[in-house]
Amino acid sequence: MEEEIRAHVFFSGIVQGVFFRAHTAEKASGLGLRGWVRNLSDGRVEAVFEGPRKDVEAAIAYCVGGQPHARVDDMKVEWEEPTGEGSFRRR
């Protein structure tokens, strides 16, 4: 079984009002990841992804380059110990 990881990610750019959270949740759920995604009052989007490294990295790559209407100008990732998040959800 592959090692589980947790990525706490902050995305900035054109990430609010373009279905970024919905697309992120759909992709993460499709990959079987756990965690959440939410808008921040400063215009960024914050997300937590937990699961196998290859799937977490695929979700992050999708957020940066695969979202149909969003544009990510900057991203900050904090690698943390998994905490046992439930199914992936939008907050």
38 in active site: no
39 in active site: yes
CA 52/CA 19 separation, integer angstroms:
25
Q: Pinpoint the alpha helices (H) of the chain.
A: 20-30, 53-65
For residues 16, 67, 48, 77, the Cα torsion angle rounded to the nearest 10 degrees is -90
Q: Please tell me which residue in 6, 34, 38, 39 is annotated as part of the active site.
A: 39
Please give the structure tokens belonging to residue 73.
């100008």
Chain Cα centroid distance, residue 78 = 12
Residue with tokens 């949740």: 25
Q: Please tell me which residue in 6, 21, 34, 44 is annotated as part of the active site.
A: 21
Active site residues: 21, 39
